[in-house]
Amino acid sequence: MSAAGGIALMSALFNALRERVEVNARHAVETFTNEVSEYQAMPPAVEDHIGMYDFAVFIRRRSLDLAAASLPLNEEDLAGIGAIGRQRAEVGLSVPSQQQVLGLHTAMMVREVHDVTRPEDVTDLLRIVGWLGIQGVRARSAYLRGYTRGVGTARVLSTRLEILARALLADEPVEPFVADLRLAVQYHVTILKTARPVTAETQAEVVAGFAADRLPVTWLAADEAAILTPGNHSNARILQRVRHATALIGQPCGIGSAEGAVGGLAETLAWAREASRVAPPQDRPERLPEIKDLFVEMAVAHTPAIDGWLRSYAKALATGPDLVATLRAYYVNDMNRASTAARLHIHPRTLDYRLRRVREVTGIDPGSTAGVRLLSATVARTLAMDHYAG
């Protein structure tokens, strides 16, 4: 059946969607403007130049025409979508803003179909959603490929790496962004979570700082960076790079890491994020906190009753001189007295006094099995909560 024939035989669902194309396009533009900060600050002349409304109308009409005829996007369609992506890059819109726009666009297209679907439209509903699922991925890749081509020469490599990082973390196809970049089978995902938003200039500096090593790095939010390191790299090498990033950021970070295979990194990201949000902040990390180091804190954070119970111990520790910092150093140094005292720049007898004070105020020996389990979790939760509260 030809495309024209498919359009002529469109069902009530397709007709209802065609009648709402312009309304939905206007709503899409309003949503982008309200929810994407870079679009909020965009001068009217730039907004007119990039033709947000016209493209929103076009992509909806074209999608309906092709879905009705069960036809894929053709090369001309993909080239046009790529040209729009390139145009967005040329006016200076960032990778995070474009990722946000693409996510909003996909969600709105699906919601628009759902809003006008009746029970008797279920066959056509599945038909449209199936088309969007397959062709949406192709359109997204074409858009980002065009965006990459539109980025200024000095930014091409770091921007490609940033787009690659986001595609990997979302388990999306990465072929359009790889080209001469080497793709690993597994990646170590490290999340750096800050207490305060990081400026756009510093974010760009962090991403560019990893371009020489061709490592995928991106900012998932103004307070959250993701570094992807090939799984065959040593922990020492990864730690060196994370230290470089924290130095550029210029403030302590909650750090969490996890390793996973390409195609399953969305789940790896979720674990690394969870770990970063409960990890004690560090400005020059001595180790990379992983799930095995933080699983107690991760569980506690999702159990309010236990979290509240631990706070009673935190309050007790707050009554002594530097007890939280002392216990933190004590456990980081595997309860070695000499190393802990040196780390704190105090005499070992002063350390002994503080550890005795811990026993007095909590009733628990910090060197016992119970002490390690309970007090180390208390210290980690206290430091993490103070970090984000401050």
Q: Which residue has the tokens 């599945």?
A: 126
Listed in order, the ranges of the chain carrying CATH 1.10.490 are 3-151
pLDDT of amino acid 173: 79
182-290: CATH, from 3.40.50.10860, 3.40.50.2300, 3.30.70.270, 3.40.50.300: 3.30.70.270
Listed in order, the ranges of the chain carrying CATH 3.30.70.270 are 182-290
Question: What is d(CA 168, CA 174) in angstroms, rounded to the nearest whole number?
Answer: 7
Report yes or no: 19 and 11 within 8 Å, Cβ to Cβ.
Answer: no
Report yes or no: 105 and 52 within 8 Å, Cβ to Cβ.
Answer: no
Token pair listed for 383? 């430091």
303-389: CATH, from 1.10.10.2840, 3.40.50.2300, 3.40.720.10, 3.40.1010.10: 1.10.10.2840
Q: State the pTM of this model.
A: 0.64
pLDDT of amino acid 344: 92
Closest to 139 (Cα-Cα) out of 27, 63, 30 = 63
pLDDT in single tens digits along all 390 residues of the chain? 444 444 434 588 999 999 999 999 999 999 998 998 888 776 666 556 568 889 999 999 999 999 999 999 999 999 999 999 988 887 778 888 888 899 899 999 999 999 999 988 889 999 999 999 999 989 988 998 888 888 765 467 788 888 889 889 988 877 766 666 788 999 999 999 999 999 888 988 898 888 878 889 999 988 999 999 998 888 888 898 899 999 999 999 999 999 999 999 999 999 999 999 998 888 888 888 888 888 888 888 888 888 888 888 889 998 877 999 999 899 989 999 999 999 999 999 999 999 999 999 999 999 999 889 899 989 888 888 887 765
DSSP 8-state symbol, 282 = B
Report yes or no: 3 and 69 within 8 Å, Cβ to Cβ.
Answer: yes
* pLDDT digits 0-9 by tens, 185-208: 999 999 999 999 998 889 888 988
Given CA atoms 122, 124, 129, 133 in this order, what sign does their dihedral have? Answer: positive
Q: Which residue has the tokens 């979720």?
A: 270
Fold of 3-151: Globin-like (1.10.490)
Listed in order, the ranges of the chain carrying CATH 1.10.10.2840 are 303-389
pLDDT of amino acid 154: 47
Given CA atoms 346, 348, 350, 356 in this order, what sign does their dihedral have? Answer: positive
Closest to 193 (Cα-Cα) out of 116, 263, 245, 158 = 245
Token pair listed for 384? 């993490």
pLDDT of amino acid 7: 41
What are the angstrom distances between the C-alpha of 157 and each of 212, 278, 288? Answer: 9, 33, 27
Q: Is 51 left (phi over 0), alpha (psi -120 to 50) or beta?
A: left
Closest to 22 (Cα-Cα) out of 64, 56, 49 = 56
